[in-house]
Amino acid sequence: MRAWRTLMLAGAALGALMASSCDSGGSRPPCPAGKLCYERGNVIDPLTLDPLKATTVNEDHLLGDMFTGLVQYDPMGEPAPGMATSWKTSADGLTWTFHLRDAKWSDGAPLTSDDFVYSLRRLMDPKFASEYAYILYMITNAEAVNGGKLPLTALGVDAPDAHTLRIHLTHPVPYLLRVATHETMYPVPRHVIEKYGDQWTDPRHWVSNGPYIIKSWVLGDRIHAVRNPYFYDAKSVCIDEVNYHPGSDAIAVERAVRRGEIDSANDIQSNRIAYLRRPDQIPAYVHVKTWLGTTFLGFNPNAVPAFKDIRVRQALTMAIDRDFITNKLMRGGQLPAYTFVPPGVASYPGSEPPHWAGWSLERRQTEARRLMALAGYTPQHPLKFEFKMRNTNDPQLIYPAVQADWRAIGAEASLYPEESQIAYSDYSARNFQAADIAWIADYNDPMTFLYLMKSTTGPQNYTDYKNPAYDALLDQADHEVDIVRRGQDLAKAEHMAMEDATIAPIFFYVSKNLVSPKITGWVDNLSDWHRTRYLCFAGHKPPG
Amino acid sequence: MLRFLFRRLLIAIPTMFIVVTLAFFMMRAAPGSPFVNERHLSPEVEANVMAKYGMNRPLAVQYATYVGGVLHGDLGPSLKYKDKTVLKIISEGFPHSLLIGGLAMTIAAIVGVSLGVVGALRQNGPADYTAMGVAVLGVCIPTFVTAPLLVLLFASMLGVLPTGGWPTASQPLSSAWRYFVMPVAVLSLPQIAIISRLTRAGMIEVLRSNYVRTARAKGLPEHSVVLRHALRGAILPLVSYLGPATAGVITGSLVVERIFSLPGIGRAFVASALQRDYTVVMGVVILYAGLILFLNLVADVLYAALDPRVRLS
């Protein structure tokens, strides 16, 4: 009896202790008095803090706050002047000249055009082994330099003077400014790298040229960044300190945002969105917007001879009930996809969807059954194949539905879920019959999608699509200086590939951000870039 | 005693060697590679990357190089976290897991043993049924259920504890402790359950033994019989359980670290295995094996200290 009383007393004491300590201002990390601290959720830890080695979107969410390239994203996610204040293109579109502003690194050292030359050569250095160097292969000699066939000095970049940078291209790239926003084109501090080698990214030695600088990083915990006093536009920056919190458990992060422990999170579990938008929940926090990514299916004609038959590919593509997938299964605002390039991509009119896209589902399924029957397959004698898929949430949710759609038209797919890493290595090795593939744009341009189906692309042309007319249109677009005509060429090519049904687009991605209404300056945009330098807290404004 | 320790250390060396060898080759036999994702590398670049990490050489050479490095205390660079070495990842994450796991095991041992003793003394009484009922629940309900339930109650509804995360280094203990309450509770609950059941079973057996009857016959007071004589014998099975269990808990739990966003080594371990970050997986395996060997040794020494019938030679 006495033991029970002691236990109850102890419980009461613990409760009182907890209650007394909860008015100490929630559980945000301590913020220095008079400063504005932003607790920013960022799904996963960066794999590296070196922008030239970085490969993921989450790394750029962080590194884009630390570095400023020639151009930088504005609040709408569009390219705006950065280190370069102006630029011009030669008449043939093959030479770009950038004029740089007077700027300094965060240790006070001057930043010159030589830093950009150094950074681009470092990126292309075969010994540096950047996984993303290929994105800049349009620079003269880049591919040969990266492959070790030419010296670094052969790379097509030069610095006529400290404030001028010239980039020479193998073909006109009217969207070069969009490429230049990518993390591979950030300048890195040569004087620090030459001193510390690979250890330059250690927060103790950190030097960068953007609005913030990194002070500490504990894996799985947080990255702490503070203002860079030498940033050229420091007076327009409102938030003083940023903590980037990794959190791969979307529900845990959602709770933290609700409690005000984290101010924004860049992922929401899709099936929570409708609930969070209810008036009694947190509708003002939910930001959903079409994003530059597509999930699609690939049919490997070399593994399943039937996939060489266009009737089979078309039937499999048109039979899929995409509205059911996006509205009933995903429920996150994703759009059904009948083309590969997401709507709204820059410098692109969008391609005409395949001829059947406007039909009702019944008509599509009837036609699909007819095409399958012509090819010799019926629900009684179905075409059998293996369907490989990533074992992450969304694929596991949607492919049983696709499987059912196919069964009704005479195709029997058995699902093989695999870890993403293994799945992609199988796809690249063509060790699949049909597969679920996702593609996120490197930059806002149709080419980052459409080159995938070019016959010279190699492993990433997952379905080994080989259509001379398609290749010719892409080549023509690559040599087109006029951006409107280039867009028309690409749209024509895309329509051709979609009618060929070499791949079956399923849905377009959406960006899903959960943002506290206390944060101001957040603009939903197609590229989903939200640099901290443009954000502020309600009721505050930048020092300048 | 010293000879015993020496002999055990000698046995530990081939054991570690076998663990390292098995882990190395099993890891490499798994399909996939750390450098594969939806962005395919050109063959030249892939060759550059492989060369950078020495992965272009024959597997046997890589193995020899790796073992050589380990002997010099070098666990190599992480293949995924390009700025970090394996030692750095472990030295950043392990202290967090050690703190949470150590607290959880300490609490589990104290509470579990107390519950077990109460249960054995009041065998088949209401206190016994309550304690053992709680214990069965603790074993049955997995941590991925208890953790969100606790968060829902204490963080989301009552708002008295943070939903997760880790305090900053500058935070005083008076506010930092609140971050530890729920992870420690979730980790210790199943351990309390197992420990209390082991203690109860051991206690019931020992209470019927001759030496306890002798102690009672001598007229010793009950608390002295229970705590000084019976308990020492009763927790012997527990000691052999606690060694590996402690090693498991202090090397971090994926579920708890994920749900509470803790910067521990358990989450890093699972993520590395999925991403084929060979060197990190190897490093954690070595740490884990070393801990198990060490804690088993501690358990054996404790055995001798607790039970005079055990001789270590």
Facing B263 at nearest CB: one of A221, A428, A458: A221
Q: Could you give phi then psi for residue A376, rounded to 5 degrees? A: 100, 20
| 8 Å CB contact between A285 and A275 | no
Q: How many CB pairs under 8 A join A and B?
A: 167
pLDDT for res A8: 53
Amino acid (one-letter) located at A233? D
Instruction: Report the SS3 class of residue A482.
Output: coil
Residue B88: in which H helix or E strand, if any? helix B86-121
Domains and CATH numbers, chain A: 28-256+516-537 (3.40.190.10), 290-510 (3.10.105.10)
pLDDT for res A23: 38
Share of chain B above pLDDT 70, in %: 97
Pick the residue of A122, A255, A390 with the most B CBs within 10 A to test the interface with B by mutation: A255
| 8 Å CB contact between B27 and B55 | no
Count CB neighbours of A23 within 10 A. Answer: 7
Question: How far is Cα A98 from Cα A58, in angstroms, rounded to an integer?
Answer: 28
B86-306 belongs to which homologous superfamily? Answer: MetI-like (1.10.3720.10)
pLDDT for res A13: 53
Contacting residues of A for B36, CB less than 8 Å apart: 421, 424-425, 428
| 8 Å CB contact between B112 and B189 | no
Facing B39 at nearest CB: one of A55, A258, A259: A55
Q: Is A460's CB within 8 Å of B168's CB?
A: no
Question: How far is Cα A121 from Cα A135, in angstroms, rounded to an integer?
Answer: 14
CA dihedral A49, A54, A60, A63 (to 10 degrees): 20
pLDDT for res A428: 82
Contacting residues of A for B154, CB less than 8 Å apart: 18
- Token readout for B305 is 């200290």
Establish how many alpha carbons lie within 13 A of residue A416's alpha carbon, considering only the half-sphere containing its beta carbon: 14
Nearest C-alpha neighbor of A184 from the set A106, A95, A98, A119: A119
| 8 Å CB contact between A60 and A78 | no
Residue A58: in which H helix or E strand, if any? helix A57-66
Contacting residues of A for B40, CB less than 8 Å apart: 428, 458-460
Q: Is B261's CB within 8 Å of A249's CB?
A: yes
Residue A218 Cα, gap to closest chain B Cα (Å): 7
Q: Could you give phi then psi for residue A124, rounded to 5 degrees? A: -90, -5
Contacting residues of A for B92, CB less than 8 Å apart: 218-220
Q: Is B170's CB within 8 Å of A30's CB?
A: yes
Contacting residues of A for B259, CB less than 8 Å apart: 249, 252
pLDDT in tens, chain A (544 residues): 445 555 555 555 555 544 444 433 457 888 999 999 999 999 888 889 999 988 888 899 999 999 999 999 999 999 999 999 999 999 999 999 999 999 999 999 999 999 999 999 999 998 888 888 888 999 999 999 998 899 999 999 999 999 999 999 999 998 899 999 999 999 999 999 999 998 999 999 999 999 999 999 988 889 999 999 999 999 999 999 999 998 877 888 898 999 899 999 998 988 889 899 999 999 999 999 999 999 999 999 999 999 999 999 999 999 999 999 999 998 888 999 999 999 999 989 999 999 999 999 999 999 999 999 999 999 999 999 999 998 887 888 899 999 999 999 999 999 999 877 778 878 888 899 999 999 988 889 999 999 999 998 877 899 999 999 999 999 999 988 888 999 999 999 999 999 999 999 999 999 999 999 999 999 999 999 999 999 999 999 888 7
Facing A220 at nearest CB: one of B38, B49, B263: B263
Instruction: Report ipTM for this prediction.
Output: 0.80
Contacting residues of B for A420, CB less than 8 Å apart: 37
pTM for the model stands at: 0.85
Residue spans of the domains in chain B: they are 86-306
Residue ranges of chain B whose pLDDT lies below 50: none
Question: How far is Cα B278 from Cα B264, in angstroms, rounded to an integer?
Answer: 18
Nearest residue of B to residue A124 by CA position?
B45
Q: What is the DSSP letter of A175?
A: T
